Structure 1
Amino acid sequence: MHSTRPTHSSHLYMADKTVCLVGLLVAVLLCWFPPMAYAQITDPQEVAALLAVRTYLNDPYKNLNWTKKHDPCASNWTGVICYLDTTDGYMHVKELRLLRLNLSGTLAPELGQLPHMKILDFLWNHISGSIPKEIGNITALEFLLLSGNQISGSLPDELGYLPNLNKFQLDLNMISGPIPKSFANLPKVQHFHMNNNRFSGQIPPELSTLPLLKHFLLDNNNLSGYLPPQLSQMRSLTILQLDNNNFFGSVIPDSYSQMPKLLKLSLRNCSLQGRIPDLSGIQGLLYLDLSMNQLSGEITSNRLSENITTIVLSNNKLNGSIPSNYSGLPHLQKLYLDHNLLSGYVPSTIWENITFTPDTKVDINFEDNLLSDISGILDIPPNVTLKLNGNPVCTNAIQRNISLLCLPDNGNEVTPDNLNKPVSTCPPQSCPIWNYFEYVPTLPNTCFCAAPFGVGLRLRSPSISNFLPYRAQFDQFITSNVYVKPNVHLNLYQLYVDSIEWEPGPRLRMFLLFFPEYTNNSNTFNASVIQAIADTFARFTIPGSDIFGPYDLLNFTAQGPYSNVLLPSLSNHGLSKGAVAGIILGSISCAIVIVMSLLLFFQKIRQRSQAKVVKDQSRSLAVPKVSMKMDGVKPFSFAELQMATSGFKITTQIGQGGYGKVYKGTLADGVVVAIKRAQQGSLQGDKEFYTEIEMLSRLHHRNLVSLVGYCDEKDEQMLVYEFMPNGSLHDLLSAKYTGPLNFATRLHVALGAARGILYLHTEADPPIIHRDIKANNILLDSKWTAKVSDFGISRLAPVSDAKGVATAHVSTNVKGTPGYVDPEYFLTHKLTEKSDVYSLGIVFLELLTGMQPISHGKNIVREVNTACQSGMMFSIIDRSMGVYPSDSVKKFMALALRCSLDETNDRPSMLEVVRELENISSMVPEYDHTVLDMSSSGTSVASAPSSSVYDRRSTYLTIDLPGTDLVSGVIPTMRPR
């Protein structure tokens, strides 16, 4: 009989096991219980609230690391910023900073269970639903920042009882209903930023009791009723902006002239009537816009503030003369009185008190009035634009020598704020631009190469119309208010305004670059400085400015060495040094105990791990690893796709690439699909695989191949697409099809592909750079509609880059297909949307010539350029095209060559490409719009009607090659007689 008594070895094993279990238990106690480790964790009620908030959110790009396994404050949950409360020993959430994380879903009522939170920031996401009334329970809340989402419904009354609320930032949503009267109970509110919503009804007069309100921005809503005279009782109000509402029949109350601190009054397009009140009592008024109303009577001649920059009274019924005191405004930038009934003289002295500098611009518009003469000698400085068209004074424009002033407006408003960027004389190869370093522009005589930190801002209601004269003042204003450590602010040269753009409102979008200090002998910021700059803007600690007004924080651009800096860290989010030290000591204790335990039990763990691997490998492949629910995208099991392809038979294979093979399959419901199956060794990680699926599930366009579903099981990753019966453009241009492919069909394919890529660049949310445009990835459906496919190496376009210009790029390793890769991207690793334009240009050249991008050492771009420069363009046109309209072919060739230029900035945008192709398509004669017919019985092209006769003749050819002189020659072409 076998003895049941334990052996010596089994005693040792059990002893080791006991020691290990005890050690692990001690480690757990040290790591997770406050008295034994660092004495503080997040308040359990707040942890539960955050986990509930997480369940209401969709996070397609896996930006949130919120899991039950880790403590929110101790383990840096994304966007969760905490502080230590010494009275109860817990850490509490003081800020949720979830700016621009591509989050969707709704706001959870459990947000109201974070009573210590001061800032709730969901700016620039895709949040929908309504604002929970429970947010009204957060008595500590100071900033409610929800701009740029899709929030709807009405505002709950409960928000009007937040005792510490300072800023309502709810603009650019779809919030409807009235403004609650309860908002009159907000004792500390200073900012109502609620423009661009759907608010309706009357502005509550009760709001006049708000003692500290500075900014009242409710433009672009559906407000109605009358303008409450009581608003003049807001003694702190500096901006009243109510443009584009419908106060039909209302007048501008005379009491508005009694607002002592008002800087900006903007009531454009509000259906207002009556007279303009006497505004001379507003001593500091800088900006006045009452345009597009039904205001009548004379413009008051009472003196306005001498600091005023903008007066816009266009499109009213004002009469009388132009006030003489408009000639005494030294800071005037814009004076628009057009489309009224003004009569009398055009004053020739309006600009006499203005001190002109190279940046000074004055825009004056008196068009469409009854002005009959000019007072004095009209000596217009070069910095002044004056428009008089539509006045009687222009009847003898030639004799008066004012012809240029009387030209009709071309509809383009003057935009003088074009930044003059300094020209660097520093050697480019000395600065590692591939890692986002650049020479500091504000040190023109010093080649200091450093990595900037970018901040996207938008001045939401500036009191100026031209930024350039105030640029130095803006630099001083920003740098003097951004502190990198206590009592230490930035130097002037550390800020560079990289780009600006006026947007409707008007609002001024800008991108700021902050550079490290030159004297520190370091070309990067340390993490604490980056965090300090970010906190300054995210917490709106920069004080208000009369000139620049309030701002929106659009984004941070932390690239290169700063890529991982902005994660919340314990050291700079409110913990004391003692708490940090406790956490460190606790962590060390955890590490020591765990290491000792693991050393004792390592062998057993390894054996069990090996056994588990064997067990996992033997599991059935019938159940998917993850179940995702996305509209229109179905998870398939391996068995389903195996059945659809008859076991992945070789006869069902229709393609192959580096990733694996493509099979034609028929699903159980009879739908024919294409199944891309990754081969062993090329499987993606779960995150990358699901990110690609999620991205493809959001792309819906007739010129993009649709994703039907996916399969992700043990050792298998497959994507299921709609089946494209006519294969790829590469197949169409190859010897596989021997019949002719006419010009109209090629143009049809080119336009379809371009429209698909344009959708990726401009309408996908967020925008996408394909990165592998080529003939193989342009597929053709049964009607020969081109559809772009294969997003395996696509990258999100840099939407976080607030520049919003074509040169914005993503720094990445070079990927793509030789012959199609953008040469500038290849050299600099800077991927832009123009990289796709280059690749598509190569496809266009293939369509025109039938040549491959690279063949026998010959490059298609070089070959085509050589032929065109020698006047032999038509000699390289694909002979299988048959007859074609030469003018259209020339335009298509010129576009293809522009797309394939080496310099990124010289290439057209995808929008320009689509428009040019549409223009070329409209030129193709009706009889040439034939469709290729490739039936199973053979290949043919529908012939043109017999009435169209082509004649070969010699025609003088001129083609404008980008970057070259005009090239000419005698070339045989095909033209209709």
Structure 2
Amino acid sequence: MYLSKGCKCEEAVLLCLCFFCYFLFATALITDPTEVDALRTIKGSLIDTNGNLSNWDRGDPCTSNWTGVMCLDTTHLLNMNLSGTLAPEIGRLSYLEVLDFMWNDITGSIPKEIGFINPLKLLLLNGNQLTGELPEELGFLPFLIRFQIDQNNITGPIPLSFAKLNTTVHFLLDNNKLTGELPSELSEMPSLKILQLDNNNFGGNSIPHSYANMSKLIKLDLSFNQFNESIPTNKLSDNITTIDLSNNDLIGTIPSYFSRLPRLQKLSIANNSLNGSVPSTIWQDRILNGSEMLHLDMQRNQFTSISGSTNLPPNVTLWLEGNPMCSNNNTLAQFCGSESDSSINGNFSVSCPTQACPPPYEYTVDCFCAAPLVVNYRLKSPGFSDFRTYMNAFQSMMSRGLKIHIIQFHINKFEWEEGPRLGMNLKLFPMYVDDNSSHVFNTSEVLRLRNLFLDFDLPTNDLFGPFELLDFILLDPYRDVTVTSPSSGISKGALAGIVLGAIAFVVTFSATILVLRLRLRDTPSKRTKASRVSIKIEGIRSFYYEEMQAATNNFSVSARIGQGGYGRVFKGVLPDGTVVAIKRAQEGSLQGEKEFLTEIELLSRLHHRNLVSLIGYCDEEGEQFIQKNLLLFP
């Protein structure tokens, strides 16, 4: 490589880096036209009664904030009263990671083309009216974590290709019309923890013998099907906490391995034709910790006795109503009542002054008027029958996952539903500190909380099991909050083309760039925490650190639009309304003042129609920022 004699090597490489990075940065301003066309075709196949997708005809999906389209490779169209069908063109969204059409009224079949979206991690189509068989192409998804197509009208068998879903943890196909035997090949899914297939029309053997090889399996729900043989004797995973085989036509006796499941918390085999004795070793051989419970529902079978001791530990519950032993033996009366706890529901209110808050504000536990975010939420397979015992643990788990104080998390009501499922109405309130506290969440916090629910990025455990989001309701004063996530600024389809076009350039300079970047990182910074330097360049402004904080809402997650080796990029709005991209150097990428200002001077000289223009910089408080025009960004 040859450099002009009057140019330092570091400056030349920085110039090359800047041209390359800015070239990528500039080309990322427009979403791949193929994906835009696909989105418009998808809209055309849907019936949008409420006009939620009316902005899908305006401009670029990212710059125009199309409803539900999030330029972080996510599509959320939860509960928007959509009908119509899913167009095959959905497969053209080749960089999509989250596909969410939950709780609409979409009909037709599932497009096989979804199976070609390689990066897909969450497939969320539950709560629609989808029909037809499951495409075997859905088994081609190499990174799928959550497979959620429950509560539709899907028919036919489970394709054998689904055994290739190596990363799938939650496999939820309940409440459909699936038929046939369960494929033994599903045991080859190495990451599977939740297998929820209840309320279908599966028949034959209930659990293939190979399912004993599912070492990570935690919950197995095959209730409300048509299994009519005996329960296989192969021992299931030691990790399993919930087994629900109720409401089938199972025959034979209780397998002995049920007594050797160390983490079992709920076993339901009610409403079958099982016979023989109930082995007391199921509870006698168990060592239960603290609040851990063991619920055994064996109602309405043909059991004639209990073999062994009938003395139950205090945290074990047993229901035997509807078995012959209950009509012949008065000593078992304590077990022969029906399970009534499952019908216990709850409504809660806060006791505060009689003068009500003006709607939509409500009293928090501190009797502070605040506007809540309302979440309809449901536990799909909880390992308990009386939620009241576990409410504090649930509140603690959820508030930690949401990164809010536990007093901000309120269970407004809960109700047991068919399944059984535990439906809840949750309310999240702004934090009360003193009388000057805000009565509402700011926009970035609304988006952060909403996305945690939408992306299923919340904790759970064996006891509470898998959950589903039914709705995230934005009442006043949040009704006008734009619910699309900020763009990453990168349409990866367009970026790939640029990378191919520039790869020769990168390879040519890669060795030199590596050496010189390492040298620059080793250059000690001359700045102190409070240092502030300036440089006189026409049209380039020097900003204060506080201005950067204000422009980005204190560098909130919702303002983040990208990240690279140098640091993170945020969308910011200056006091005069100018929208800018703010590149914030991360620790380890900070340069000395001289090197940093040299870079600013170089960038100020770059002018090209494909490059965004430099607006300013900040070198203060131990931080380095570069501000660029974001005219074409969202």
Distance in 1, matches of 2:444 and 2:570, equals 18
What SS does the aligned partner of 1:554 have?
Answer: strand
SS at match of 2:243: strand
Cα distance change, pair 532–341 in 1 and its aligned pair in 2 (3 A) = same
Tell me what 1:575 maps to. Answer: 561
1:530 touches 1:566 (CA, 8 Å); kept in 2?
no
Aligned pair 1:545/2:461, yes or no? Answer: yes
Equivalence map 1:476-875=2 (5 Å)? 476-482=396-402, 489-519=403-433, 521-570=437-486, 572=558, 575-576=561-562, 578=569, 580=571
Q: Deviations over 1:666-710 (max 9, x none)?
A: xxxxxxxxxxxxxxxxxxxxxxxxxxxxxxxxxxxxxxxxxxxxx
Which residue does the alignment assign to 1:59?
48
Task: Indicate yes or no: 2:296 matched with 1:311.
Answer: yes
Aligned match of 1:276: 254
> Quick one: which of 143, 147, 162 aligns to 2:141?
162
The question of whether the paired residues in 2 share the 8 Å contact of 1:315 and 1:340 is answered with yes
How far did 1:168 drift? 1.0
Q: Which has the larger radius of gyration?
A: 1
Instruction: For 1:196, give the aligned amino acid.
Output: N
Shift of 1:558: 1.2
The amino acid that maps onto 1:340 is N
Which residue is 1:260 aligned to? 238
Residue 345 of structure 2 contacts residue 416 of structure 2 at CA under 8 Å; is this kept in 1?
no
Q: Of the candidates 441, 455, 471, which is equivalent to residue 391 of structure 2? A: 471
Aligned to 1:15: none
Matched, 1:452 2:372: yes
The CA deviation at 1:224 is: 1.0
SS at 1:192 equivalent: strand
Alpha-carbon distance in structure 2 between the residues aligned to 1:532 and 1:417: 33
Given candidates 68, 87, 93, the residue that maps to 1:79 is: 68
Distance 2:243 2:449 in 1: 32
Deviation at 1:464, TM superposition (A): 0.4
Q: Match of 1:791?
A: none
Question: Which of the residues 338, 354, 361 maps onto 2:321?
Answer: 338
Post-superposition Cα deviations, 1:1-43, rounded to whole Å, max 9, x if no partner, equal xxxxxxxxxxxxxxxxxxxxxxxxxxxxxxxxx9998961211
Which amino acid is the alignment partner of residue 540 of structure 1?
Answer: F
* Equivalent AA in structure 2 for residue 371 of structure 1: N
Aligned to 2:344: 417
Choose the corresponding residue for 1:230, options 204, 207, 210: 210
CA distance in 2, matches of 1:205, 1:574: 45
> Could you tell me which residue of structure 1 aligns to residue 540 of structure 2?
none
> Which residue of 2 is the match for residue 461 of structure 1?
381
Residue from 105, 119, 123 that aligns with 1:140: 119
Distance 1:164 1:37, change over 3 A: closer
SS of the aligned residue for 1:469 comes to helix
The answer to whether 1:246 aligns with 2:226 is: yes
Q: Give deviations 1:784-843, integer Å, cap 9, x for gaps.
A: xxxxxxxxxxxxxxxxxxxxxxxxxxxxxxxxxxxxxxxxxxxxxxxxxxxxxxxxxxxx
Change (3 A) 1:326 1:246: farther
Instruction: Say whether the 8 Å CA contact 1:479–1:490 is kept in structure 2.
Output: yes
Between the aligned partners of 1:35 and 1:65, the Cα distance in structure 2 is 31
Counterpart contact for 1:160–1:186, Cα < 8 Å: yes
Alignment match, 2:182:
203
C-alpha deviation, 1:323, in angstroms: 4.7
What letter matches 1:242 in structure 2?
A: L
Matched-pair contact (CA < 8 Å) for 1:54–1:66: no
Closer, same or farther in 2 for the Cα pair 1:573/1:202, shift >3 Å? farther
Q: Secondary structure at the match of 1:158?
A: helix
CA contact under 8 A between 1:57 and 1:103: conserved in structure 2? yes
The CA distance in 2 between the partners of 1:418 and 1:103, in whole Å, is 31
Match of 1:438 in 2: 362
Counterpart Cα distance in 2 of 1:473 and 1:35? 47
Does structure 1 conserve the Cα–Cα contact (< 8 Å) formed by 2:559 and 2:570?
no
Deviation at 1:387, TM superposition (A): 7.2
- Note if contact 1:38-1:585 (Cα within 8 Å) is conserved in structure 2: no
Residues 461 and 507, structure 1, Cα contact 8 Å, conserved in 2: yes
Query: Percent identical across equivalent pairs?
Result: 39
Instruction: Note closer, same or farther for the CA distance 1:231–1:39 as it changes in structure 2 (3 Å cut).
Output: closer
Separation (CA, whole Å) in 1 of partners of 2:460 and 2:269:
24
Deviation at 1:521, TM superposition (A): 1.2
**How many residue pairs get matched?**
473
Note the C-alpha offset of 1:137. 0.4
Which blocks of at least 5 consecutive residues in structure 1 are unaligned?
A: 1-33, 84-93, 343-367, 379-385, 390-408, 483-488, 589-977
Give the Cα separation in 1 of the matches to 2:460 and 2:25.
47
Distance 2:310 2:237 in 1: 22
Aligned partners of 1:42 and 1:73 also within 8 Å: yes
CA contact under 8 A between 2:560 and 2:571: conserved in structure 1?
no
Q: Distance in 2 between matches of 1:36 and 1:300?
A: 67
Match of 1:645 in 2: none
Report if the CA contact (8 A) 1:123-1:149 is conserved: yes
Q: 1:119 to 1:326 in 2, by over 3 A?
A: farther
- Measured in 2, the distance between the counterparts of 1:387 and 1:69 equals 65
Residue 49 in structure 1 maps to residue 38 in structure 2: yes
Q: Secondary structure at the match of 1:463?
A: coil
In 2, Cα distance between equivalents of 1:166 and 1:420: 34
- CA distance in 1: counterparts of 2:79 and 2:349, whole angstroms: 31
Q: TM-score, normalised by structure 1?
A: 0.46
CA distance in 2, matches of 1:139, 1:318: 50
The residue type paired with residue 571 of structure 2 is V
Q: 1:174 aligns with which of 153, 178, 202?
A: 153
Alignment of 1:22-33 (within 5 A): none
Q: What is the DSSP-based 3-state SS (H/G/I as helix, E as strand, rest coil) of the residue aligned with 1:457?
A: strand
Q: Secondary structure at the match of 2:227?
A: coil
Give per-residue Cα distances to partners, 1:709-745, cap 9 Å, x unaligned. xxxxxxxxxxxxxxxxxxxxxxxxxxxxxxxxxxxxx
Give the distance between the partners of 2:278 and 2:265, measured in 1 at CA.
Answer: 17
- Counterpart CA distance in 1 for 2:352 and 2:368 is 12
Residue 286 in 1 paired to residue 213 in 2?
Answer: no
CA shift in 2, pair 1:452/1:145, >3 Å? same
Answer whether contact 1:303 1:325 (CA < 8 A) is retained. Answer: no
- 2:329 aligns with 371
Distance in 2 of aligned mates of 1:573 and 1:154: 41
**Paired letter, 2:312:** S
User: Quick check: 2:240–2:264 contact (8 Å CA) kept in 1?
Assistant: yes
| Separation of aligned partners in 2, 1:286 and 1:194 | 23
Give the counterpart of 2:167 among 142, 167, 188.
Answer: 188
Alpha-carbon distance, 1:582 to partner: 10
Pairwise mapping of residues 934-945 of structure 1 onto structure 2 (< 5 A)?
none
Q: Confirm whether residue 324 of structure 1 aligns to residue 315 of structure 2.
A: no
Distance 1:388 1:254, change over 3 A: closer
SS at match of 1:480: helix
Determine if contact 2:78/2:471 at 8 Å carries over to the other structure: yes
Cα deviation for residue 574 of structure 1 reads 5.5
Is the alpha carbon distance of 1:521 and 1:184 closer, same or farther for their aligned partners in structure 2, counting shifts above 3 Å?
Answer: same
Structure 1 residues 448-480: Cα deviation after superposition (integer angstroms, max 9, x where no partner)? 111111111000000000000111111101001
Normalising by structure 2, report the TM-score.
Answer: 0.71
Q: Counterparts of 1:289 and 1:224 in 2: how far apart (Å)?
A: 18
Q: Measure how far apart 1:423 and its partner are.
A: 4.9
- Separation in 2, partners of 1:497, 1:161: 39
Call closer, same or farther: CA 1:337–1:65 in 2, change over 3 Å: same
Question: 2:355 aligns to what?
Answer: 428
